[in-house]
Amino acid sequence: MGIWDKVRGEFIDIVQWIDDTNNTMVYRFERYNNQIKYGAQLTVREGQAAVFVNQGKIADIFQPGMYALETRNLPVLSTLQGWKYGFNSPFMAEVYFCSMRQFTDLKWGTMNPVMMRDAEFGPVRLRAFGTYVVQITEPAVLIRQIVGTDGRFTVEEIVNQLRNLIVSRFSEVAGESKIPVLDIAANYSELGDFLTRRIAPEFQSYGLALTKLLVENISLPPAVEEALDKRTSMGVIGNLAAYTQFNIADSIPEAAKNPGGLAAAGAGLGMGMAMAAPISQALAGQKPADSGPAVTPPPIPGAATYFVAVEGKQTGPFDVPALSSQAASGLLTRQTLVWTQGMNQWTQAGQVPALAGIFASVPPPIPPEA
């Protein structure tokens, strides 16, 4: 074997990458200082693309398939190399394999709450998180813009930047959407689709495609969530009076087990029954019922009031509008005896000048037939 044949045997004649990881996006084929043999076998598997870089410039890109690295398969590299040593000479080139599969279950989330204005609650702070899926669509752009000369570029090296993009655009979209906080949960799918369309162009500038973005949860601060829980509980309880009475009645068996407990429970039951109705009426916007007699407000200061004799008994006092109503209904006649402060004796209403007006529309008694 000649020296040239021996050296030629050390040249690489099989170029391939078998990915045994699930996070490598770009892998640079290791040559260990050996050159690639002209006519070597290149294998690009499904879900891969091979990028040849010569003298710092991207020369050729190969899609899935098997190739013999010859002049006809390396049009750009052939021009750059010139093959001045003949077609059987080795050549220097860096080979980057790009994983074209989808990288799934990548996490995103807001590190700090996002401020937005809600129509019902006013200014609120939201936290959100979810997952997204990316895929390399333009290997040359990714290598130029992000990878550079990195020998093994993993998805962890770019997720922080991608997450920052998503969170930034989420803040804008959440503020512009005007979706009420309580309705956001019903719009996760629509919000995710809208974010995907909004952010996709920025991912394309890295040679990536944002194929799917999911909003998994949007939460409010603990204090706001606690207030909402209380509000929900009130709606579930419904009739507060019945709920209070039920709780007190339910406590009687336990109270009976303790000395003096039953008496205390009875007292509590009485208090609960007494308090439940006013509370329930207050929540319903009703005036609580009063167990005492109705209180009649005093007459308006300066207005004359009259006592009326009905079947030999004193009633009243009544103000003039009340007497006018009684006259219209026939309860008060001109012959009815009335009295007010300043009068010497009971007098017929028809003879009191101040009351003459209330009988103006009341016809006089029908005279007896002859």
Domain coordinates in residue numbering, the chain: 3-99, 102-220, 238-283, 305-354
Per-residue pLDDT at 105: 92
Per-residue pLDDT at 342: 78
Angstrom distance (rounded) from CA 122 to CA 116: 8
DSSP label of 321: H
CATH topology of domain 305-354: Dna Ligase; domain 1 (3.30.1490)
Axis-axis angle for helices 240-256, 222-237 (nearest 10) = 90
Distance of CA 44 to the CA centre of its chain: 46
> 102-220 domain in CATH 3.30.479.30?
yes
Per-residue pLDDT at 73: 66
Token readout for 112 is 């700090």
- Residue 335 CB contacts under 8 Å (≥ 6 apart), including other chains: 348, 349, 350
Domains 102-220 and 305-354 share a fold: no
Nearest to 213 by CA among 173, 178, 180: 173
Q: To which residue do tokens 């892998």 refer?
A: 27
Instruction: Quote helix, strand, coil % in the chain, to nearest 5.
Output: 40, 30, 30
Q: Is 368 helix (H, G, I), strand (E, B) or coil?
A: coil
Angstrom distance (rounded) from CA 98 to CA 138: 10
Based on its alpha-carbon atoms, the radius of gyration of the chain, rounded to whole angstroms, reads 47
Q: Residue 90, preceding bond cis, omega within 30 degrees?
A: no
CB 90 within 8 A of CB 13: no
Token readout for 99 is 């994983």
What is the DSSP annotation of 37-55? EEEEEEEE-TTEEEEEEET
Angstrom distance (rounded) from CA 117 to CA 180: 9
Per-residue pLDDT at 82: 55
Q: Is the dihedral of CA 84, 90, 92, 98 positive or negative?
A: positive
Give the Cβ contact number of residue 10 at 10 Å.
13
DSSP label of 91: B
Per-residue pLDDT at 131: 94
Per-residue pLDDT at 7: 44
Token readout for 361 is 């529309």
Per-residue pLDDT at 106: 94
What is the residue-level pLDDT of the chain in tens, covering all 370 positions?
444 444 444 556 788 999 888 899 999 988 765 577 777 888 999 999 999 887 788 888 999 999 888 766 676 665 655 555 544 556 777 899 999 999 999 999 988 887 777 777 777 788 889 999 999 999 999 999 999 888 899 999 999 999 999 988 887 887 676 777 777 767 788 888 888 888 999 999 999 999 999 988 888 777 766 766 666 666 655 565 666 666 676 666 666 666 555 455 555 555 555 555 555 555 555 555 554 555 555 555 556 788 888 888 888 788 888 878 777 777 778 888 888 887 888 888 878 887 877 777 666 666 666 5
Q: To which residue do tokens 């909402």 refer?
A: 228
Distance of CA 228 to the CA centre of its chain: 12
Nearest to 15 by CA among 37, 151, 61, 99: 37
Q: Which strand (E) or helix (H) includes residue 338?
A: strand 337-339
Per-residue pLDDT at 363: 66
Per-residue pLDDT at 171: 78
